[in-house]
Amino acid sequence: MAESAKWYVIHTYSGYENTVAATISKAVENRGMQDLIFEINIPVEEVTEITDQKTVTKERKIFPGYVLVKMIMTDDSWHLVRNVRGVTGFVGSAGKPIPLTEEEILSLGVEKREVHVGYSIGDSVKVVDGPLDGFLGTVDELDVERDRVRVIVSMFGRETPVDLQLDQVEPVRN
């Protein structure tokens, strides 16, 4: 049933994001609706401020006035969220909540994809996508967090580093 759960954006009064998130969590727990509302997220970023020779790291809301909720949209879950004090409504058109797309979820960093890479630095790989499709090379750098791999390929008799996405290469099996 969790497959039909989607991320929705709730509009709140500015400054009420944490209160709204806590109230929704408590209401979900009290009403036993954990099977309809799964996660509540307030996107934040860490910001370092330097003032008077002091370095202070603070969390700042990326989208003030908005809270993200992963839920299965039913009349009950809609009413629970909509009737929380501080919520002005769901983001959507004509009063109909519109879920976030997979691309939006990944770009916001709300959900992390787990990437399992079948190769490591020094391994031989084959490029399977893009303009260098079919080229063989050696993994030089691997950055799973950024979905990047640097491969050294031989082009025109020269060793050339190429930055690719992790899924654009596959290990060469001997």
Count of domains forming the chain: 2
Determine the pLDDT at residue 146: 75
Q: What is the CATH number of the domain that holds 9?
A: 3.30.70.940
pLDDT, tens digit (0-9, with 9 covering 90-100), for 57-84: 888 888 899 999 999 998 899 999 999 9
pLDDT band at 148 (very low <50, low <70, confident <90, very high): confident
Distance CA 48, CA 52 (A): 13
Q: Is the pLDDT of residue 44 over 80?
A: yes
Has residue 82 been placed in a domain? yes
Place of tokens 């954006």: 9
Has residue 116 been placed in a domain? no
State whether 96 and 43 are in the same domain. yes
Distance CA 43, CA 63 (A): 7
pTM of the predicted protein model: 0.61
pLDDT band at 2 (very low <50, low <70, confident <90, very high): very low
Q: Which residue has the higher pLDDT, 24 or 109?
A: 24
